[in-house]
Structure 1
Amino acid sequence: SQGSSAMAKGKRWTIPKAGSLDQLRLELFDETDLHVEQDLLKIEVRAIGLNFADIFACQGLYSATPTGSFVPGLEFSGVILEIGGDVKERDGWKPKIGERVMGVTRFGGYTTHLLTRSCFVRPIPSDWSFEEGAGFLCTSLTAWYGLVCLGGLKSGHNVLVHSAAGGVGLASMEIILAHNANPIATIGTASKAALLQERFNLPSNNIIVRAKSGREFADQVGECMKLNNCQEGLDIVMDSVQGPYFQPCYDRLCRGGRIVVFGAASMTPPGDRPNWFRLAWQWLWRPTVDPLEIIAANKGVLGFNLIWMWDKVEEMSDILKSMLAAVPWKRPLVGRKFSMEDAKDALRFLQSGQNVGKVVLVIGPSGS
């Protein structure tokens, strides 16, 4: 019947080819064509977490971007509709139909219905909303992998976190404090300081409002290190910004210190499509490190993108299990919600750098 046909229609954002945000199109599809088999789950999506990688993927600046048409989106929350026959219990949990879950996916998240492997899904804590669940896994896994797996975070470490009021930044702060380490938070605008002070009781001496120039920022970091009695240097830097802020942090690493690079927000194009001349200039003047120099300096530069770890299922599952157990996680901060139909506006808002916490797309009644 016409009514049942309408009920079968899902919606998803697609882009025919990476290049510009304005190419995103909302299309209808028949969600009954999504067939569950093996270890797959079928999810009715209720909320979608946005990430900077979504912007870079749509603009063609992300090395993992699929060729041709694709659906962006890396994380979601929703309700289990169907369960594949090979789905097994993992970490004491076995999915059930109707259960509220949060998950990650290698693209394909901007949709009302999707199929995903059960190993990349976990139940949403009972006191979290769908929006909070959708804003948790990508950011917390990124922060944990950078700080713990690569950074070797230990009690007493001095750790600088760029963009500390954003999604990964807030998750990083929780991990650092859970390890009894000392965080230094950088933010782009002074208005974001209150959030860090309220959420983590962070003293003002531990917060840097980044200056525009690298030279001024270097002075800021030096002064902050003095106030925090870390003259030996920084043990870990979580760098999602780069640009003029990389070298001052690298220079202030202690012996054995590590700078972990996982983004380049300073190169985010301000418009719908990249300004290739501006990007070329930034690329030519990007910071460089001499491999011979780091031997004598006893410093490390590490980079990662978790999307390239997608096939390492058991390793990622073990990391997720450790992460969930080691930190008394707060409810994720959702700074701004948009309806799914307003995905372009949501991405442009994230692109502007005005957000605190996560930006989330909502499908259906908010928080249901």
Structure 2
Amino acid sequence: MPDKKIKPAAAPVEESDAIAKIGGVQRSAILLLALGEKDAAELLKHMGPKEVQDVGMAMASLTNVTTDQMEAVMRHFVSTLETQTALGLGSDDYIRNMLTNALGEDKAGGVIDRILLGRNSKGLEQLKWMDPRSIAELIRLEHPQIIAIVLSFLDADQAAQVLSQFQEKVRTDVIMRIASLDGIQPAALQELDEILEKQFSGASNVKSSNLGGVKTAAEILNLLDGAVESKVMEQIMDADTDLGQELQDNMFVFDNLIDVDDRGIQTLLREVASEQLLLALRGAEEGLKDKIFKNMSKRAAEMLKDDLEAAAPAKLSDVEGSQKEILQVARRLADAGEIMLGGGGEEFL
């Protein structure tokens, strides 16, 4: 492929005060509502299941959107669009080589599979559109190794919800199998995809198989309910101390956000609702609270401090739930290259 000269990326579009505190998902929801039912439906067709779910929930929860906010979102969208290029590159080889050169072979493998494998897989891909309970019922009687492969293909938050539907013994077994996965033969993955596709009717075409591993297992564990996560980790440590320690080293919990740089924290805060942040900070270390306050405007920080002092007692499960929701946002931003996460951590309070 001949070299292409591409202009340097345009500077980020500045945000107006009217939308500075509105998260990215909420802005998308406002934009879709402003476009109208028909045009919004056409845009939703091009989104993945998780994106549709997030935007749909945001649309359903929108209240008291002002005219200024609506107009500001539209202006920001148009301004952002004007900075984008119309260049399109569709070659699988080009995508594979570009990502490998940029990220290195090890890191690029999973990203490539999510793009190319996910695009061509039909049976497995359809699971992403199903609710966790239905997926659990579909695979409940399968061998734990099959369950591990299926959960490795799903997004971590969806996989965690599916795993929660199983009995305690099965959860531990499956997590250990996910952590021990070191690639899957394409023929085996294609066979699994075809079996699932027959249940949905249709055909399949799977190309690659780099799923599972300690990182995948740790991401799923991170998103389990706090009590369930602790129990699973306890059982894994009893069964295999080395594996348990490796999982702990790869887990990223709320207080690890203190290792994110200031720009990353600011990016994250733009995506998080103030009520969600208020609840999550109830269980945070003082150092992380200070870092959050430092990366807000002086007025916003003072208001948040006052709200924290005046807030009524909250259930630990609710606090942990808000923390894990914010971690999901952080991982999404990290996957998109907008922030950098780092470090392992301890379990939740």
Which structure's residues are more often strand, by fraction?
1
TM-score calculated relative to the size of structure 1: 0.26
Normalising by structure 2, we get a TM-score of 0.27
